[in-house]
């Protein structure tokens, strides 16, 4: 999928929501425990209930790996289900990988070939040759960690580089933007640092950004739109726990659908307000 | 396993070698392809041939994940085999994980509980709350990436922090050393930057360091020892490809054993030279 198709989907659905399928076996409703593929069954129902309101799904790999081989089977089934039923939807492996070149190549094959993800989140710490192997796959995307949503993002990501006099995460964005293009690179910027999006937009006005941190982590959607929108929207905003765990009963999927709809409605309003819909 | 037991094993085997089981299905000898668990069978033979000369094994998770669920089964079998036959050996998951706290907790459970590793490599980029969840397991270790062995380590890891006037990786070591202790934290320092080990030792004189980059990547064992040894050795030096792919025929394990023995002999000489053996 390219960035034009992504914007078309945003305009069609009037949404830039990504639902995070961070499915925790300890938090799924009890009645699902009778299924052989419990995580997949939870995901399948959440997907069917939210697909009209979302342009992307993001699976955080930690929640699957913790179940060993069975987790990988549930992950594969989830990706295949989205592909088969909602082929327009962008699928992100939130894996935060990154290793020496010879090894990153295998992570890239894992998420782009063994599994059929559109994008993977990658850590920038090991530099260019750790990221490049992910950039050689047609229509596949790297989403590089820049400024994350957690409190630890204040520990190192904002260190001021003596030479460029810019923050580490800004330096990483500036340098890495030269490794590829807006056609296969995005950046993670946490909604908890929405005011810093203006500075990010000065460096990369045209790239898409993946924004975690609204919902359970407390970031503001209005601020994210205000500082982060570009002429093609340019934002994918993720919400995980606030949507998928909206209700813990047999009605969990319906409740998730309602929460996703509410966020979509807010997004539609913002897209209209900023002149980003086709029919405004 | 604690750092005292680790040093005892180093003294007993007169080695500080870690063999990297970066087992690539495309590089294993053809005759192994008839086995149901091909990767495990390769690993099992390598382990039996090298266990006398090595104090640790390190599995790079990328090579297992690329095979999906079957890769995880082979990984689990490998860890269980080492535990059952060579309980004194330290087992490292080279996974380079790190995520927001809620998620890192699941990666920690994955590698310390679902699989029974002694240690996991973690990326520092997301800061304290992304690393802390790995530090709450008894006798388990975090090995934090500091200065890696690849060329991309020059992109960001050596940026000078304006405030502390130190390199990013030194800053990370100094700050993170306060999150825990030498009893459950180690650091990755690439052998390709051996001369920088002296500076690292000024910050953390007593911590163990995991040193990749000798062998295929070209780092020098003599330099690593010269700048990195402390009074308890304090080094675990990894070699992967140079040992496990020493030979591509039915004699692959024997050849790997010979290569591991050669490195152990060099290490024994260095341990004696620096007064780190019990009987010198």
B chain contacts of residue A150, beta-carbon cutoff 8 Å: 100-101, 126-127, 129-130
Decide the pairing of beta strands A56-60 and A90-97.
parallel
Condensed to tens digits (0 to 9), the pLDDT of residues B94-152 reads 999 999 998 999 999 999 999 999 999 999 999 999 999 999 999 999 999 999 999 99
Query: Which is nearest to A234 in space by CA: A57, A76, A4, A50?
Result: A4
A154–B110: do the CB atoms touch at under 8 Å? no
Specify whether the CB–CB gap between A179 and A131 falls below 8 A: yes
Measure Cα distances from A179 to A55, A132, A144, A224 in Å. Answer: 26, 8, 12, 26
A254's CB contacts (< 8 A; 6+ apart) are: A49, A247
Each residue of A69-97: pLDDT tens digit?
Answer: 999 999 999 999 999 999 999 999 999 99
Place A280 in a pLDDT band, splitting at 50, 70 and 90: very low
What's the mean pLDDT in B68-86? 97
- Span A89-117, average pLDDT: 96
Decide: helix, strand or coil at residue B15. Answer: coil
CA distance B226 to chain A (A): 25
Q: Of B199, B205, B201, whose CA–CA distance to B182 is shortest?
A: B205
Domain spans of chain A? Answer: 3-273
Is A275 buried (19+), middle (13-18) or exposed (0-12) by CB count in 10 A? exposed
Fold (CATH) for A3-273 = TIM Barrel (3.20.20)
| Cα–Cα distance list, B182 to B57, B113, B155 (Å) | 20, 22, 28
Label residue B277 by pLDDT band (50, 70, 90): confident
Nearest-by-CA chain A residue for B171: A156
Q: Chain B within 8 Å of A65 (Cβ-Cβ)?
A: yes
- Under an 8 A CB cutoff, do B151 and A171 touch? no
Cβ pair A22:B103 closer than 8 A: yes
Contact: A161, B159; criterion CB under 8 Å:
yes
**A273 to chain B, closest Cα gap in Å:** 32
What is residue A1's DSSP assignment? -
CA distance linking residue B135 with residue B178, whole number of Å: 12
Distance of alpha carbon B147 from the chain centroid = 14
Compare CB distances from B150 to A73, A115, A130 and report the shortest one's residue: A130
Would you say residue A278 has pLDDT above 80?
Answer: no
Tell me which chain B residues have a C-beta less than 8 angstroms from the C-beta of A175.
155-156
In this predicted structure, the answer to whether residue B217 has a pLDDT above a threshold of 90 is: no
Does residue A177 register a pLDDT over 50? yes
A109 Cβ neighbours under 8 A, 6+ residues apart: B66
Its ipTM equals 0.95
């Amino acid at each position: 999928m390219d960035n034009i198709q992504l914007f078309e989907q945003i305009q069609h659905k009037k949404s830039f929501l990504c639902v995070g399928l961070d499915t925790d076996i300890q938090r799924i409703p009890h009645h699902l425990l009778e299924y052989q593929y419990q995580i997949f069954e939870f995901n399948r129902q959440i997907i069917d209930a939210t697909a009209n309101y979302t342009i992307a799904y993001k699976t955080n790999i930690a929640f699957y790996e913790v179940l060993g081989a069975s987790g990988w089977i549930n992950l594969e089934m989830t990706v295949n289900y989205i592909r088969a039923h909602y082929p327009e939807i962008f699928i992100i492996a939130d894996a935060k990988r990154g290793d020496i070149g010879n090894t990153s190549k295998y992570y890239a094959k894992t998420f782009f070939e063994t599994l059929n993800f559109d994008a993977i989140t990658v850590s920038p710490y090991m530099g260019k040759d750790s990221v490049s192997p992910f950039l050689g796959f047609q229509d596949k995307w790297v989403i590089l960690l820049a400024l994350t949503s957690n409190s630890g993002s204040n520990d190192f990501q904002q260190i001021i580089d003596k030479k460029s006099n810019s923050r580490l995460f800004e330096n990483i964005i500036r340098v890495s933007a030269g490794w590829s293009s807006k056609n296969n690179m995005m950046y993670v910027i946490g909604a908890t640092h929405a005011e810093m999006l203006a500075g990010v937009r000065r460096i990369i006005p045209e790239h898409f950004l993946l924004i975690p941190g609204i919902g359970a982590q407390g970031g503001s959607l209005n601020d994210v739109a205000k500082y982060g929108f570009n002429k093609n929207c340019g934002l994918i905003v993720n919400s995980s726990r606030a949507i998928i765990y909206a209700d813990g009963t047999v009605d969990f999927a319906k409740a998730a659908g309602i929460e996703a709809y509410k966020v979509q409605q807010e997004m539609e309003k913002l897209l209209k307000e900023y002149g980003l819909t086709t029919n405004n």
